[in-house]
Amino acid sequence: MPLQMMEGSIAVAETVRLCRPQVISAYPITPQTHIVEGLASIVADGRLDAEYICVESEFSALSACIGASAAGSRVYSATTSQGLALMAEVVFNSAGMRLPIVMGIANRAISAPLSIWNDQQDSIMMRDSGWLQLYAEDNQEAVDLHVLAYKICEDHDILLPAFVCFDGFILSHVFEPVDIPSQEEVDEFLGPFNPYQQLDVKDPISFGMYATPEYYLEFRYEHDQAVHRAADALRKHGKAFGEKFGRDYSELVEGYRLEDAEVAIIAMGSICGTTKDAIDEMRAEGKKVGLLKIRCFRPFPAADIAKALAHVKTVAVLDKNISLGAKGAVGIEVKDACYGLGIPIYDYVLGLGGRDVRKKDIKKIVELAEKGSGDMFYGLREELL
Amino acid sequence: MVDRTIENFDCGHRACGGCGASSAVRMILKGAGENTIVVSPTGCLEVFSTPYPETAWKTPWIHSLFENASAVASGVEAALKKQGRLGKEKVLVIGGDGATVDIGMLCISGAFERGHDFTYVCYDNEAYMNTGIQRSGATPYDADTTTSPSGVCSTGNNRPKKDLPQILVAHGSPYVATATMAYPMDLMKKVEKAMNTQGPCYIQVHAPCCTGWGYDGAKTMEIGRMAVECGLWPCYEIVDGKLTSVKKVKRVPVDEYLKAQKRFRHLFKPTRNDAEIAKIQAIADANAAKYGIDIE
C-alpha cells in the first residue's frame, strides 16, 4: 500500500478496525478522543462489525472489556491520564485474570495541576500492573504495535493485556505518512480470536475466584513468568511481523548510531525522533553519541540494555515521568539493569506536562552527562521557583 | 417454564448455617434456568462460593471487582450479541446490597441507561456482611451495625433504606421487582420473568443474615416472612413503570420483627424506645400506603 498522510489517532483507529475487535468499549478523554471517535464512525459506517459500548466512565470501559474478553471476543479500548487512573483497579484485575486485552494509551500528564499535554506518567504509574507496555516512536510504530500487541497477548503461552503507548498530541494529533496494512495481511497475521477458555454454558467454568495464602503467591509467580515470557514472544512475533510487513520488531530495544558511541542516550516514545536528529548533528560535529530506544518497558529488557551499553562511557536517560521522592522510572530501571558495569548513568526528568524538548536540549543534556552532572529535572524555569 | 429441579448452585460452599443469601441464590438460579452466565461482584457470595480451586457454580460464573459487575455484564452481553449467542445464553448478575446500592451504583446506572439485556438480582442482607456487618445504603433505619452502632448518642443507622428499585424504574427498566427468599415460588417466578424480559431488569431480594442480624440460623425463613407481614419488605412488581402486582398481607405491628433480631435490641433494652419504634412503624405504614399491601 502507498503511504497515506493521516492523523495518528485515525491511523490507530483504522488499524484497530483491521484487527477486527468484536467489542469496543471506551470513554472519551483528551488526547485519546479522536481514536474512539474514529472507531465510532467506522462502526457506524459498517466498516467494522463490532459492538461499540458507550460506557459512562473509563472504569466501566475496561470492566466491559473484561466481560467481553472472558465471553470469547477480541476487545479494544483506549484511554489516557485521568482515565487510566480511574481504571486503575480494573487494570490490575484484568491482568491478574490473564485476559488478552489491547488498549491504546495516548500518553498524557497526571493531575494536579490539571494538564492535558504529554508526558508518560500515566502508563508508567501502571508499571507494576502486569500489563505489557509497548512505546511507539512515531505513528507507523503506533500502527504496527497495535497489530503486534494482539498477536502477543492472544498467544496461549502469554495471555496478558497490553498497552500500546504513543505520546498524546505529539503523535496522536500529528499528521504523518503511514503505511496502513491491508485487511488480508492483518487477517493472515492475526487470525480470528481463539480464546484459551471462555464463559460458555456448554462448558461452565468459574473466572476470577479468590485465592487463599496457600495459592496466591503461585498466581503472582505464574503471572510474572508470563510477563517475562512475553519478551521472547515479542521477538518471535516481531520477527514474523517484519517478514510479513517489512518492518522488523524482533528487538525490545533499538540502537541508533550506538555501535561506537561514547555517550548513550536512553529514551522511550516520540522523543527518540528528536534525539536521532540531535545525534546526527552532534555526530557531524565529531561527537560520538548514540541512542538506545526502549520499545518495550514491560517486560523490562534489562539484559538487552546492559549488553547494548557495555561499551559506552556515559549514559543519559531521558525520563518523561517522575517517581516523586526517587527519580525517573526509566533511569531507576536502567541503573538496575547496568548494576556492576561501572558505567556512570545520569537521569534527566524533562518534558513533563507537555514542556517542549528540542534538539538543543538533547545536546545540552549530553554536555551535562559528560560533565558528570545529572539526576535532575532538566529545563526548569528558575524564575518561577 | 424452566426446570426447577436443576441445581446450579452446589452444596459444599462455605456460607454460614442458615444463610439467607445462599438459599436465595439457589432459588434465583432455579428461576433463571439453564444457559445462564452469572456475573458477581465481590462480597459474601463470591467468597463463600469460590475459594480457589473449588467452586459451587455449575453455570459459567465470573467475578472481577466489587463495583463493576454491571459493566462486566455489559461486556459479556455485548460479546454474546456479537457472537449470535444472546438469547440462547442469558446474563444474570447476582450481588449483595453493598455492591449494588453503594459502590456499584455508577456501573448499574450506566448499564441500565444503555439498555443491555441482562437481569440484576441484589440479595439484600442490609449491610456489608462480608467485611463484618458495617452499614450500607440498604441498611434499615435504626439497625445497629459496626459502623452505625447504637449508643448513648445513637439509635443505630440514622437513615432509611435507599430505594434502588424506584431509581431503576426511573432509568426506564422494563421490569423491576422486590422479592424474598422466604417466598421461594414467588422469587423463582419473578427471576424467570425478568430473564425473559428484553432489556435491563432488576430484582431486590430480601435475604436475612443470621450472623449480621443476630438470630438463630434455623429461623431465617421465619424472619423473612415476618419482614413481609409487618410491611417493612413490600413484595411488588413494576412492569414498564407501572405497579402490576403486590403481595397483600394482614399486617402486624413491626415490634415482633424487630424484637426477633439483635440489631434492633437497643430499641427494647434497657427500656422500650417508643418514639423510635413509632418511626419504624411509620416506614411500614408508608410502604403499605404506597404499594397498597393491606388486605382490607
Mean pLDDT of B61-73: 98
Determine the Cα–Cα distance for residues A223 and A225; give it in Å rounded to an integer: 5
Enter the C-alpha cell of residue A54: 458507550
Q: How far away is chain B from the Cα of A63, in angstroms, using its nearest Cα?
A: 5
Residue A101 distance to chain B (closest CA, Å): 13
Average pLDDT over residues B73-80: 98
Give the separation between CA A42 and CA A36, rounded to whole angstroms. Answer: 10
Q: What is the pLDDT of residues A192-227, one digit of tens each?
A: 999 999 999 999 999 999 999 999 999 999 999 999
Q: Which residue of A has its CA nearest to B43?
A: A210
Show residues of chain B in contact with A68, CB under 8 Å: 75-76, 78-79
Q: Are A136 and A12 in contact (CB under 8 A)?
A: no
Mean predicted lDDT score pLDDT of chain A = 98
Contacts of A23 in chain B (CB under 8 A): 75, 78-79, 82
pLDDT number for residue A1: 66
- DSSP annotation of A352: G
Is residue A108 within 8 Å of A119, Cβ to Cβ?
A: yes
Q: Residue A59: in which H helix or E strand, if any? A: helix A58-70
Write out the three cell numbers for B292: 397498597
Cα–Cα distance between A325 and A320 in angstroms, integer? Answer: 15
The pLDDT value recorded for residue A366 is 98
B134-140 average pLDDT score: 98
Torsion of CA B88, B89, B90, B92, to 10 degrees: 160
Q: What is the rounded CA–CA span in Å between residue A8 and residue A211? A: 42
Cβ atoms B67, B104 nearer than 8 A: yes
Whether residue A369 is predicted with pLDDT greater than 80 in this model: the reply is yes
What is the percentage of chain B residues whose pLDDT exceeds 90? 97
Mean per-residue pLDDT, B124-141: 97
pLDDT tens for A21-76 read: 999 999 999 999 999 999 999 999 999 999 999 999 999 999 999 999 999 999 99
CA–CA separation, A254 and A239 (whole Å) = 14
State which amino acid sits at residue A178: V
Per-residue pLDDT tens over the stretch B158-175: 999 999 999 999 999 999
Lowest average pLDDT, out of A83-92, A96-105, B7-16, B240-249, goes to: B7-16
Cis peptide before A177 (omega within 30 of 0): no
A68 closest CB neighbour out of B59, B76, B106: B76
Nearest residue on chain A to B63, alpha-carbon basis: A208
Sheet holding A263-267, edge to edge: A253-256, A289-294, A263-267, A314-319, A345-349, A376-377
Which residue of B lies nearest to A22 if distances are taken between CA atoms? B82
Mean pLDDT of B93-103: 98
Alpha helix stretches (DSSP H) within chain B: 20-32, 44-49, 69-82, 97, 105-114, 164-170, 184-195, 210-213, 220-229, 255-259, 274-291
* Residue A272 parent element (H or E): helix A271-284
Distance CA B90, CA B2 (A): 13
Mean pLDDT of all residues in A310-331: 98
pLDDT above 70 covers a percentage of chain A that reads 100
What are residue A332's DSSP bridge partners?
A: none
> Distance (Å) from the C-alpha of residue A180 to the closest C-alpha of chain B?
26
Residue A371: pLDDT above 70? yes
Please indicate if any CB of chain A lies within 8 Å of the CB of B273.
Answer: no
Are A63 and B75 inside 8 Å of each other by CB? Answer: yes
Neighbours of B27 (CB within 10 A): 21
Q: For residue A325, what pLDDT is reported?
A: 97
B196 in A contact zone (CB under 8 Å): no
What is the per-residue pLDDT across B258-274, written as a single tens digit (0 to 9) for each?
A: 999 999 999 999 999 99
> Residue B71 has what pLDDT?
98
Closest of B106, B99, B142, B104 to residue B124, by C-alpha: B99
Each residue's pLDDT tens digit, B196-236: 999 999 999 999 999 999 999 999 999 999 999 999 999 99
Q: Residue A71 is nearest to which of B35, B51, B76, comparing CB atoms?
A: B76
Residue B1, pLDDT score: 74
